[in-house]
A and B are shown apart, each in its own frame.
Chain A
Amino acid sequence: MIARNINQPLAVFLLLVLVTDVSAARIGEIIENDPWEQARRFFTFSDPGLRIGLSGALLFGATCGLLGSFIVVRKMALIGDAISHAVLPGVAMGFLWSMEKDPMAILAGATVAGLMGSLVVELIKRTTKIKQDAALGIVLASFFAVGLCMIRMIQNNDGASRITGLKSYLFGDVAVLDRQDVVTMTGVVTVTVMLVILLYRPLLIIGFDREFAHSIGLPVRLLDGLFQLFLTFAIVVALQAVGVVLVSALLITPAAAAYLLVNRMHHMLWVAAAIGMLSAVIGVFFSFLGSNLPTGPFMVLGASSVFLVAYLFAPRHGRVTRWFRHRSRRRDVSNENTLKSIYRIIEKGSADNDAGSVVKIESLAGERRVSKVDLFADLRRLRRVGAVEFVDQGGDVMLTEIGIQQARQVVRNHRLWELYLTNEADYASSHVHDDAEKIEHFLSEEKVAEIERQLDYPVVDPHGQPIPGRGEA
């Protein structure tokens, strides 16, 4: 008993770490299938059902990515969620209509229900003082509850045979896709892509500035309606494979990842479509490894992992990339400050040898006001770029030719800026040091030349110290 209690958390932990492995092992027990064998079958595309599932995944992944981009930039993410829940009664109605899985009837029913959902949201917002968030919540949950009741009634009447068909609409099952579904999808995707290409500019304008769109005479409400219609189509198309509950994630997450990766809308559209396809394929892969698991959650996790990678490593906005950028900038600043300190020690004539060029690490640490360890890190980096040379093991250093040039430049920037602030901006000379301390690292060559010209080529700064010239040795 005790052993069992100890083992259970461990089992849960393993389950968390190795979700895929455990599920695969479980499937292996049932259908005697090796996960490696399944993976091999996946990558050789030998299974005809898999080929259909994959092409479907590619199609709706692309559609969701395309339309999701507009949703993310228009801050409509939760509207997508509401519509996707609202289609459920339509699915049930479509099912009742033909009493079997007829994709056209279900598509039609779901589209009508989705549009009714967004219509009711609009109506509530317009006629009452209920705000958008509550209106979305009302429609989402009420429609969903009606759909659940209808599904349960269908199940009661028809017994278990039809349950599997309907269940896939809730959490998604890519295995139920057949050739006819893929044909329907292809149609919807083609029309959606055409819509996005044809109406790209108006949709973009509406997305960013509705007032402006009105003022240049765009039919804003018509375009909004059209967009809602195609949004509903996209949701309905992805419904069987992803499920009502999670389909909105496939709209939001790939587009949000693309939003972090690129800056321009038309790039975002294609990147989002590609990420959508990738997420869908990841979902198909994992649910193929374990055939009785719902597909939708795996697609969502696929999209979320892509999003996480984008969040961390996006070239401009990624957290990790930014951290590295900041670190390298901090190091540059620190290096330049060390060079400057060496220069000033030499300038003051307090260098530690007769020729006046070698600086002891102790006096440098005193001048720089940092610990010897930090200073050593700076000096090693500076030696690597050839700016300083170590004279002996103890850490006494001297500047090389390159080092002298760099140090002069920083000191020059600093003193010119101090002079500029006192002369041109009327700062007191006692208040200019801190500002110059910051800006000295970021002044460009041209800016410095311009300041110098404006100050008529000065030779001393406000504190009476000489400003080193550019070319002097």
Chain B
Amino acid sequence: MNFHRIFVEPWQSHAAHYWPVFAMALFVTVACALIGNYLVLRRISLIGDAISHSVLPGIAIAFMMTGSRSGAPMFVGALVAGVVATVIIEVLHSRSRLKQDAAIGITFSTFFAVGVILISIHGAHTDLDLDCVLFGKMDFLPGREPVFLGLPGVTVTMAALALCVGLLIIIFYKELLLSSFDPALAASMGINPRLVHYLLMAVLSVVVVGAFTSVGAILVIAMLILPAATSCMLSDRLWVMLILSVLHAFISSLGGVHIAVALQVPTAPASVVAGAGIFAIVWIVSPRQGLISLWLRNRRSDQVAEA
């Protein structure tokens, strides 16, 4: 009965509701997962967190001006806020004694605080409230009229975004790979590592803003990092990692929908919980870096030492 309610019903009687939710979760996690691989490789994971916090005031102001939770104004507002925050971080970091981590911490918390204040002054009973910032509103997407395959417009946009990210990665695979692992070599081969970095940041901001409506400002860091972290425990090859992280994104969004049904919680945190669960399982059983194999190896080397 319970099994039926959690695993079967969403795809039978409520398919019209759950199919778009699942699709949205899938596209958001796939887009984030793909770009997240490069964040993890370049050891700048927390930049994603900083950007997703910093865009909040831009989103809030754009929302106040237009009264809608989607569309170009929000992108513009978020982009402006993101760029301003990046510049401030750079200025604080290079023109004072502060280290980069403190500069990031100060800037993004200030921006986030401004955003929260704007939203709580204006948005108490509107579409954009503090719940949206925390939980995301994957289950209540705006503009529910299906435009394609039973999916609403925002989901189709997100799908296009995920596709674009995928295509960009395929086209610029070599450039991204080289500049992530060996910037000096990349530069010697005529690839500008700074340009690659800024383009990556630009794509990251677009993805983060696109994901904001459905996963909020805080959880997006999980969608960026968990897939890449999970797949880097399973493989050393970048293209395998990319494929595995898409797989992780698929399983976590599917699991997220079912966890959300089972526990009656929003889908966004539920898929993060699912993703974290996959990470934990892989961490334990991964053949090379897993806790079990680590334990076995340690025991074997102890035995060798005793013998």
Judge: A and B partners, yes or no.
yes
- Which chain A positions have C-beta within 8 A of B263? 149, 152-153
A386 within 8 Å of B (CB atoms):
no
Is B180 an interface residue when CB atoms closer than 8 A count as contact? no
Chain B: minimal CB distance from A352 (Å): 47
Contact A156 B225, beta carbon cutoff 8 Å: no
Contacts of A81 in B (CB 8 A): 49, 105
Say what secondary structure dominates the interface of chain B.
Answer: helix
| Identity of the chain A residue whose Cβ is nearest the Cβ of B117 in the assembled complex | A297
Find residues 96-131 in chain B having any chain A CB closer than 8 Å to their own CB: 96-99, 101-102, 104-106, 109-110, 112-114, 116-118, 120-122, 130
Could you give, for residues 193-231 of chain B, a 1 whenever the CB lies within 8 Å of some chain A CB and a 0 otherwise? 000000000000000000000000011011011101100
Whether, in the assembled complex, B261 has its beta carbon less than 8 Å from a beta carbon of chain A, the answer is: no
A145 in complex: contacting residue of B219, B283, B291, CB < 8 Å: B219
Within A342-392, which residues are at the interface with B (CB < 8 Å)? none
Interface magnitude class on chain B = 35 or more
Check: B2 CB closer than 8 A to any chain A CB. no
Residue A8, interface by CB 8 Å: yes
Contact A297 B221 (CB under 8 A): no
Report the minimal beta-carbon distance from B45 to chain A, rounded to whole angstroms.
Answer: 4
B80 close to A (CB within 8 Å) = no
* Interface, chain A (partner B; CB < 8 A): 8-9, 11-12, 15-16, 19, 22-23, 26, 72, 75-78, 80-81, 85, 124, 127-138, 140-142, 144-146, 148-149, 152-153, 156, 170-171, 245-246, 248-249, 252-253, 256, 259-260, 292-294, 296-298, 300-301, 304, 307, 311, 317, 319
Task: Report whether A300 and B110 are in contact in the complex, using a CB–CB cutoff of 8 Å.
Answer: yes
In the bound assembly, the distance between CA atoms of A145 and B270 in angstroms comes to 7
Given A141-B222, A259-B97; A133-B106 close (CB under 8 Å):
no
Q: A19-B117, A137-B224 are in contact. Are A249 and B106 (CB under 8 A)?
A: yes
B265 lies within 8 A of chain A by Cβ: yes
B251 interfacial by beta-carbon distance below 8 Å: no
CA distance A296 to B40 in the complex (A): 31
**For residue B61, which residues in chain A have a CB less than 8 angstroms away from its CB?**
12, 16
Minimum-distance CB pairs A-B, first 9:
A141-B222, A249-B109, A145-B272, A142-B276, A297-B113, A300-B113, A77-B101, A145-B269, A252-B105
Given A78-B46, A129-B289, A133-B43, output 18 extra A-B contacts at Cβ < 8 Å.
Answer: A8-B64, A12-B61, A19-B117, A75-B101, A77-B104, A145-B272, A145-B273, A153-B264, A246-B113, A248-B105, A256-B105, A294-B120, A294-B130, A297-B112, A297-B120, A301-B113, A304-B113, A319-B95
Contact mask for chain B residues 46-80; partner A; CB cutoff 8 A; 1 contact, 0 none: 10110000000000010011000000000000000
Query: Is B92's CB within 8 Å of the partner chain A?
Result: yes
Contact A253 B109 (CB under 8 A): yes
Other-chain residue from B49, B110, B121, B232 in contact with A137 (beta carbon distance below 8 A): B49
Check if A8 sits within 8 Å of B222, measured CB to CB: no
